[in-house]
């Protein structure tokens, strides 16, 4: 019995997506250790096999995403706007030219998330990029790490009292003609802003790259979700049927950490598309009530296949400390 419990935990920890897709719409997140104690050996083996199949179903190669986008762009019956066609083509190019050894800055990508890390200023959030060629030795390959390493040794960390440091000179040198402007997308509206500074945030269990931006374009109560260098034409709507389909794909018993995917809802689609929705889970304005506030662009592909075109979250639970 002990062997099977350990095996299941090792299986869960071996997959990055376990942390990302872990909840249902009707129950609190459940850790595998809680499930394991109530199962027989036969049930444990059955769960192990189901979890293997679950992880396999979530593994989507970039070629699948490219094929989906090609079909979408080639469909003459769809009334894609010029803005949305340009965005989808850039997203396709990003998948086609992606190099895990040379990632791009977060603000140079087709979409970038905006979160409020608890007790911090609202910001564009970048993530460390682990070198999967050396999984047993953590190395951050992110472009932000390479840029900030000119000013600070991030490996040494900061003083205990400091969680966030910004380095204004970093982006000043990178964009001498002016820092990039971008479009802000909230739950209901669109605005424009400009990047200000790049910083680094760390606590005991997580670290992020934090871009500040000019918040003057925001109105009181705006719930900001993501940004892009491109203008997008969005149809703001919630689709309960799409949300139910999304939740039906989740298997919480296969998770090593709780998440907030059961709270995710659709809020907008690209005008001229069907079954392609921006989704989010958040507890504005502080995020404290959720394990993993998230943003995503999710497509329902052929035969109901889940195709995640973009995803980002922040970990309030502290999964990496387990």
Statement to judge: residues 191 and 249 lie in one domain: no
Statement to judge: residues 13 and 129 lie in one domain: no
Using one digit for the tens of pLDDT, what is the confidence trace for 244-259?
999 998 888 887 788 8
Statement to judge: residues 168 and 218 lie in one domain: yes
Q: Which of 16-30, 149-163, 205-219, 287-301 is the least confident region? A: 16-30
Statement to judge: residues 244 and 224 lie in one domain: no
Q: Which of 110-114, 208-212, 215-219 is the least confident region? A: 215-219
Q: How many domains does the chain have?
A: 2
The domain boundary, picked from 211, 228, 245, lies at 228
Asked if the bond preceding 44 is cis, omega within 30° of 0, the reply is no
CA distances, 66 to each of 7, 90, 129, 147, 269 (Å): 35, 11, 22, 30, 19
Strongest mean pLDDT among 38-42, 153-157, 245-249, 276-280? 276-280
> What DSSP letter does each residue of 293-304 carry, written as one string?
-EEEEEEE-GGG
DSSP 140: B
DSSP 117: -
Statement to judge: residues 208 and 260 lie in one domain: no
Q: Residue 102: what pLDDT?
A: 84
The domain boundary, picked from 228, 263, 294, lies at 228
Q: For residue 82, tell me if it sits in a domain.
A: no
Range of the domain at 163: 98-228
The domain boundary, picked from 228, 253, 282, lies at 228
Q: For residue 283, tell me if it sits in a domain.
A: yes
Statement to judge: residues 160 and 223 lie in one domain: yes
Statement to judge: residues 110 and 224 lie in one domain: yes
d(CA 277, CA 296): 8
pTM value is: 0.83
Statement to judge: residues 50 and 112 lie in one domain: no
Q: For residue 65, tell me if it sits in a domain.
A: no
Mean pLDDT, the chain, rounded, equals 84
Q: For residue 87, tell me if it sits in a domain.
A: no
Statement to judge: residues 300 and 223 lie in one domain: no
Mean pLDDT across 208-230: 93
Statement to judge: residues 223 and 102 lie in one domain: yes
Token pair for 42 = 């036969």
Statement to judge: residues 187 and 120 lie in one domain: yes
> What DSSP letter does each residue of 245-285 carry, written as one string?
HHHHT--GGG-SS--SGGG-EEEEEETT-SSEEEEEE--TT
Q: For residue 67, tell me if it sits in a domain.
A: no
- The C-alpha angle with vertex 150 and arms to 313 and 200, in degrees rounded to 5, equals 25
> Is it the case that residue 192 has pLDDT exceeding 60?
yes
d(CA 181, CA 192): 7
């Amino acid at each position: 019995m002990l062997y099977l419990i350990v095996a299941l935990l090792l299986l869960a920890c071996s997959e990055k997506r376990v942390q990302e897709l872990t909840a249902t719409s009707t129950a609190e997140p459940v850790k595998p250790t809680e499930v394991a104690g109530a199962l027989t050996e036969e049930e444990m083996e059955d769960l192990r096999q189901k979890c293997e199949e679950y992880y396999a179903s979530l593994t989507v190669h970039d070629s699948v995403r490219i094929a989906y986008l090609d079909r979408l762009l080639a469909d003459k019956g769809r009334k894609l706007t010029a803005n949305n066609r340009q965005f989808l083509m850039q997203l396709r190019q990003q998948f086609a030219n992606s190099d895990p050894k040379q990632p791009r800055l977060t603000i140079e990508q087709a979409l970038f998330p905006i979160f409020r890390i608890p007790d911090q200023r609202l910001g564009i959030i970048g993530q460390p990029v682990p070198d999967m060629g050396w999984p047993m030795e953590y190395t951050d390959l992110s472009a932000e790490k390479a840029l900030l390493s000119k000013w600070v040794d991030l490996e040494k960390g900061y003083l205990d009292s400091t969680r966030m440091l910004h380095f204004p000179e970093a982006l000043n040198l990178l964009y001498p003609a002016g820092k990039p402007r971008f479009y802000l997308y909230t739950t209901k509206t669109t605005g424009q802003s400009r990047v200000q500074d790049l910083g680094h945030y760390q606590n005991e269990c997580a670290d992020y790259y934090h871009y500040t931006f000019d918040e003057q374009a925001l109105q009181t109560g705006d719930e900001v979700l993501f940004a892009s260098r491109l203008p997008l034409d969005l149809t703001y709507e919630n689709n309960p049927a799409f949300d139910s389909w999304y939740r039906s794909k989740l298997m919480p018993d296969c998770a090593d950490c709780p998440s907030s995917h059961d709270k995710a809802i659709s809020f907008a689609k690209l005008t001229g598309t069907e079954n392609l929705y921006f989704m989010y889970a958040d507890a504005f304005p502080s995020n404290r009530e959720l394990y993993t506030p998230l943003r995503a662009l999710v497509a329902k592909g052929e035969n109901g296949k889940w195709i995640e075109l973009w995803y980002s979250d922040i970990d309030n639970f502290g999964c990496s400390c387990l």
